[in-house]
Structure 1
Amino acid sequence: MTRTPVQNPAGRQGRPAYDRDSLLEIAVVVFNERGYDGTGMEELARRLGLSKSSIYHHVSGKEELLELAVNRALDALFAVLDEDGGAHGERAGDLTATARMKRVVHRSVEVLAAELPYVTLLLRLHGNSLVEQRALARRREFDHRVAELMTRAAAEGGIRADIDPHLASRLLFGTVNSLVEWYRPDRGLTAQTLADALTTILFDGLHGPNSPAPHAS
């Protein structure tokens, strides 16, 4: 959802006024619509109803806007890994690796829903600039930390040990990341419902408690 621009100060009518956060929100929408490489400052100025010089009052250029946007998404995801409190107030150190893994997936879905435009932009980076390369390096660090947690969960017997943990974590977060392609918060599906359902399916599968046992192949 796009934030309403802040009101113009008295005596400055005719153009919308933005703070840096509201300017960033609209810039991210444009980047996602047109692609970052396909968006110039002229297009941003047109969509914002501002002159380019007014945009430069807030940021140095579109590269800074991109960096602010992807860092917002990455900071939120890394915060999930570093959270102390669990759903019932447990400390992360008191949870098993398996419980932490489930919580990371659940909370990552919630972050994706809350920061949907920013995560979408992050997932569409191609590495064509230093800003993008730094963001992709942080994504790899996140993936590595998740894979380490998956390895510990497998070692304690909480999840399957016959699938490579790095592959398992890539498959898990490939599913989580695919939500940017179809999840729309305004269509009635809450982030909590989505996170609950996805975590259950990813960790417990679709085999119901009353379903017949699957036949061995």
Structure 2
Amino acid sequence: MTAAEDAPVALGRPRTRRARGEAGARRPVYDAASLLEVAVAEFNARGYDATSMEDLSRAAGITKSSFYHHVSGKEDLLRAALQRALDGLFAVLEERHARTGRPVDRLRYIVRRQVEVLQAELPYVTLLLRVRGNTETERWALDRRRTFDAAIADLVREASAAGQVRGDVEPSVAAKLLSGTVNSIVEWYRPGRPGAEALPEDVVRSVFEGVLPRE
């Protein structure tokens, strides 16, 4: 994969402003970043394949031509959304506590931070976890997900070799359990509900009680 292929789509951060319409009415004026937010909500609600540009323009309350003024098409928006989710996850692997220390401590840290990224970027991570490889962009995202998952599996194997996770749990199985537990959160987590702040630590405590060596 070339650097150009992996470069993020330059949409910036979401923001929405408002302008005066006819007869002093107030109407939304979008930029590419805020349209991305609208698009992700529609993709998650309808499914990417079932969402048309008409659906997106209707959800934004603007014309299709206005939508195309900011983005080249639906897949452009998908790429930007998936890039945002992947950037958040891969950034965790570069953080100091993910790179230094005992393998099991690094693993705990990464799982905790994965949950935090999921909470902060919930619509984008949800979309990432729902892609099925039907387009070039989706296949690219799935390949990046596999790379991320492989890094977690390697770390589980390191922890296993050091005797820091249970020897009777196959490392590949333990890695899948960790990823599956974190990824399943998108199906039930709702921001603002009681316990949201404690969720990262609650997940770490719950999953690692099942993989730490028995006393």
Distance in 2 between residues matched to 1:82 and 1:13, nearest whole Å: 48
What is the CA deviation profile of residues 155-184 of structure 1, one whole-angstrom value per residue up to 9, with x for unaligned ones? 111112332222211111101110111000
Task: Report 1:97-116 matches (<5 A).
Answer: 97-116=103-122
Distance in 1 between residues matched to 2:15 and 2:132, nearest whole Å: 30
Task: Tell whether 2:127 aligns with 1:121.
Answer: yes
Distance in 2 between residues matched to 1:82 and 1:185, nearest whole Å: 26
Given residue 182 of structure 1, which amino acid in structure 2 is its aligned partner? W
Cα distance 1:19–1:9, how it changes in 2: closer, same or farther (>3 A)? farther
Q: Unmatched 5+ residue regions in structure 2?
A: 1-13
What is the CA deviation profile of residues 170-207 of structure 1, one whole-angstrom value per residue up to 9, with x for unaligned ones? 111101110111000122332x400111100111249x
Task: Tell whether 2:205 aligns with 1:193.
Answer: no
- 1:40 matched to which residue of 2? 52
- 1:7 matched to which residue of 2? 18
- 1:92 matched to which residue of 2? 99
2:209 to 178, 183, 204: 204
1:72 to 78, 84, 87: 84
Given residue 106 of structure 2, which amino acid in structure 1 is its aligned partner? R
- 1:209 matched to which residue of 2? none
Cα distance 1:122–1:41, how it changes in 2: closer, same or farther (>3 A)? same
- 1:210 matched to which residue of 2? none
- Residues 122, 186 of structure 2: 8 Å contact kept: yes
Given residue 17 of structure 1, which amino acid in structure 2 is its aligned partner? V
Query: Which structure's residues are more often strand, by fraction?
Result: 2
- Residues 20, 26 of structure 2: 8 Å contact kept: no
- 2:9 matched to which residue of 1? none
- Residues 15, 33 of structure 2: 8 Å contact kept: no
Task: Report 1:102-181 matches (<5 A).
Answer: 102-181=108-187
Partner of 1:179: helix, strand, or coil? helix
TM-score w.r.t. the length of structure 1 is 0.85
Q: How far is 1:8 from its partner?
A: 2.3
Q: How many residues align?
A: 200
Given residue 41 of structure 2, which amino acid in structure 1 is its aligned partner? V
- 1:57 matched to which residue of 2? 69
- Residues 97, 152 of structure 1: 8 Å contact kept: yes
RMSD: 2.4
Partner of 1:157: helix, strand, or coil? coil
TM-score w.r.t. the length of structure 2 is 0.86
What is the CA deviation profile of residues 127-151 of structure 1, one whole-angstrom value per residue up to 9, with x for unaligned ones? 0000000000000000111100111
Distance in 2 between residues matched to 1:4 and 1:195, nearest whole Å: 28
Given residue 168 of structure 1, which amino acid in structure 2 is its aligned partner? A
- 2:29 matched to which residue of 1? 17
Q: How far is 1:10 from its partner?
A: 8.8
Distance in 1 between residues matched to 2:190 and 2:72, nearest whole Å: 32
Given residue 187 of structure 1, which amino acid in structure 2 is its aligned partner? R
Distance in 2 between residues matched to 1:71 and 1:48, nearest whole Å: 22
Q: Unmatched 5+ residue regions in structure 1?
A: 207-212
Partner of 2:51: helix, strand, or coil? coil
- Residues 40, 81 of structure 2: 8 Å contact kept: yes
